[in-house]
Structure 1
């Protein structure tokens, strides 16, 4: 049976990256271009997604004629927005931090669990669903994450059962996702050939959907800060605001990363010349799919 034939009720979690977009394309193809009424597509915007990500999500919906529900966290639940009205200044993320009184970090990733997982859960509950399939783009080459999610399914602690059709189809990043989007192009920025689909996300892996996600390597963060002046301002402001006003925050809760602050990174970039090896990090491939690899490992929704 085609693993991309999803039985509803089901929510397709679209992170805004190439992998989950490939998955959505294959699901649509399995249904001859039209999803069943009880299979919905959701993109949860944190307000810190790159503009390229927002354009990519919008273009996938427009080109493929599929309704994508754009959701954003609010203190009372969520709002449904669209490409033009989507937050671009970190408003949902800031609202969550203000409510919590401390910052997420690599261990306590409440940014994913609250801004994405819980928002999607509430959306499904508002549809009247009591149990559903949660479809995520974990690939065959992400075996340890797939196994963790299968274990979560066995535990049956949630209202949903997670489906990973890309893993079942043995679809991988190098063998399927990148050729689908980039074809013969080695670099998504400096194109040398036509794009197979006529469009693409247009960012490199280390850049990621979330502009300065704390899970990126230190080298990747410094490269992004160097290449995008002002990009760390929002992150520095959040760390400074927590340090000044919150008695609830422990030392760990006052920084996104315990080893350094974003102000430290800014100072390092200003003081150091560019070093070619800054991006050497085994995890950089996963940065682009924010929400896919974090969610199974974050706090339960």
Structure 2
């Protein structure tokens, strides 16, 4: 049985990264290019996705002739947006911080849980489903995450059953063996630097980001060195994160301040980069990160 021929009702969780796009392509092939009406492709936008990510999602839906539902969290429930109307300055994320009155962190990762997982859940419930299949882009070489997803299925606490077709396929999908060659050509096992121009790529387009850059621009789960490099290379990117820390301190009435990471603030990172922009390790191109938001964060207990 072809694991990419998933059964509806189903939600294909599209992160906007290369791996989940590869999974979506294989699912489309399994259905001869046209998904059944009860299988939905959903992209949840936090407002801090890179512009390259938004463009990539748009390219996927137009080039592959597939409808992708763009959804965003609001305090009143999810809303559907599109490429042009999608938030680009962290509006959903900031509204969530205001509601919670504290910042997410490495232990309490409510940003992914609320802005992505539960927002996509609410989309499916609004479509009339109480239970469904949830297809996520975990590969065979992400064994520990695959096992955790299976354990959550066994627990039966969620409204959906997670399937991971890339981990089940007869040809076990890996990043180096399949994802990179799909986007960059046979024999390429990592993102080239520089990334080739679109006409020279096998699919005619690509995400256009190095692995360390990720989809969520300065996610606090990224290594400190990666965030420093991003701050140095992208003037102004850090401003939202500094403002979010100040905003969280104000709404929580914390004179001592608020931080995404206990050890340092984003203002601290910016200051370190300004004082020493060529620090050791900052130019290391060999670092690899799994950057697809929603897959790095295991869901917390599902309550509804």
TM interval, shorter chain, is over 0.9
Deviation at 1:282, TM superposition (A): 9.9
| CA gap 1:250/1:177 in 2 versus in 1, 3 angstroms | farther
1:69 counterpart SS class: strand
| More helix as a share of residues | 1
Residue 294 of structure 2 aligns with which residue? 291
Residues 195, 208 of structure 2: 8 Å contact kept:
no
In the alignment, the residues of structure 2 paired with residue 24 and residue 250 of structure 1 have an alpha-carbon distance, to the nearest angstrom, of 47
Residues 104, 110 of structure 2: 8 Å contact kept:
yes
- Specify every segment of 5 or more residues in structure 1 that has no aligned partner in the other structure, as ranges: none
Residue 202 of structure 1 aligns with which residue? 208
Deviation at 1:182, TM superposition (A): 1.3
Find 1:268's aligned residue among 263, 268, 272: 272
Deviation at 1:281, TM superposition (A): 11
1:144 counterpart SS class: helix
Deviation at 1:293, TM superposition (A): 2.2
Residue 40 of structure 1 aligns with which residue? 40
Deviation at 1:241, TM superposition (A): 1.8
In the alignment, the residues of structure 2 paired with residue 8 and residue 190 of structure 1 have an alpha-carbon distance, to the nearest angstrom, of 37
Residues 113, 299 of structure 1: 8 Å contact kept:
no
Deviation at 1:300, TM superposition (A): 3.3
- TM-score, structure 1 length as denominator? 0.94
1:9 equivalent in alignment to 2:6: no
Find 2:224's aligned residue among 214, 218, 226: 218
Residues 189, 203 of structure 1: 8 Å contact kept:
no
2:12 counterpart SS class: strand
> Residues 201-251 of structure 1: CA distance to partner in whole angstroms, max 9, x if unpaired?
00001000001001100000000000001100000001012223414x798
Deviation at 1:291, TM superposition (A): 1.2
Residue 28 of structure 1 aligns with which residue? 28
Find 1:178's aligned residue among 177, 180, 185: 180
In the alignment, the residues of structure 1 paired with residue 277 and residue 155 of structure 2 have an alpha-carbon distance, to the nearest angstrom, of 50
Matches within 5 A, 1:90-239: 90-169=90-169, 170-183=172-185, 186-187=191-192, 189-191=194-196, 194-239=200-245
Residues 72, 79 of structure 1: 8 Å contact kept:
yes
- TM-score, structure 2 length as denominator? 0.93
In the alignment, the residues of structure 2 paired with residue 159 and residue 33 of structure 1 have an alpha-carbon distance, to the nearest angstrom, of 28
1:81 equivalent in alignment to 2:81: yes
Which region of structure 1 is more displaced relative to structure 2, 55-64 or 182-191? 182-191
| CA gap 1:8/1:190 in 2 versus in 1, 3 angstroms | closer
| CA gap 1:44/1:179 in 2 versus in 1, 3 angstroms | same
**Corresponding residue pairs, total:** 297
Deviation at 1:292, TM superposition (A): 1.8
1:256 equivalent in alignment to 2:260: yes
In the alignment, the residues of structure 1 paired with residue 70 and residue 180 of structure 2 have an alpha-carbon distance, to the nearest angstrom, of 25
Residue 52 of structure 2 aligns with which residue? 52
Residues 157, 302 of structure 2: 8 Å contact kept:
no
In the alignment, the residues of structure 2 paired with residue 113 and residue 297 of structure 1 have an alpha-carbon distance, to the nearest angstrom, of 6
In the alignment, the residues of structure 2 paired with residue 161 and residue 283 of structure 1 have an alpha-carbon distance, to the nearest angstrom, of 33
Deviation at 1:191, TM superposition (A): 1.9
Find 1:277's aligned residue among 281, 294, 300: 281
| CA gap 1:218/1:19 in 2 versus in 1, 3 angstroms | same
